[in-house]
Structure 1
Amino acid sequence: MRDNFTLAHTFTARWEGGLSDHEADPGGITNHGISLRWVTDLARQAKERCLRDARQCDTCPRRTGPDCDYFSLDLDNDGDIDADDIRACTKEQAARLFRRHF
């Protein structure tokens, strides 16, 4: 039996598949439903949480693991979060992000 998330994500993915960079889309470049606007907002929120918790990226033990809310958004693993991460986003990464944040 498939869980509710899988059913909902499979349904939504029919319309949110593939790369799109339409100038009228306020979310910016989007791939598999993951928009640059959403990812950069998540990254900003993650950085703010770290600052509130007095954690610094350079010394944080979670930085390189999947538990890091900021670096888990660096989908192309180049140290920053930008349009290249959206281009590199796979269906599996998109599903993980949706499951984690919705």
Structure 2
Amino acid sequence: QGWQWPGMGAALYASEPVVRAVLDRCDDLLREERGSSSSLLDVMFGRPGSTEDLDDPQWKQPAIYALECALTELWSSLGIRPDVVLGHSLGEIAAA
């Protein structure tokens, strides 16, 4: 962990419907799981009014996972299908 930054994925979210769908789903699921109105997307994109910190593991880990999954779906939609995937630490979950 440690490569997260405010705004990560925002351009792809704005331009790629596949990415938008995955990130919206992750945001919805996280809100439901936490019973919270705080938005993962607000934290990820550094939107004004977000009071959460992307460097906090409770936000950075879901943000990294969500973006990894969104990128995987984007590549798949473009016909890119790897023969093998692997990940390290949190990336192992997204690779699965």
| TM-score computed with the length of structure 2 as normaliser | 0.34
Structure having greater relative contact order (Cα 8 Å, sep ≥ 6):
2
Q: Normalized per residue, which structure has more strand?
A: 1
Q: Which structure has the bigger radius of gyration?
A: 1
Q: Normalized per residue, which structure has more helix?
A: 2
| TM-score computed with the length of structure 1 as normaliser | 0.32
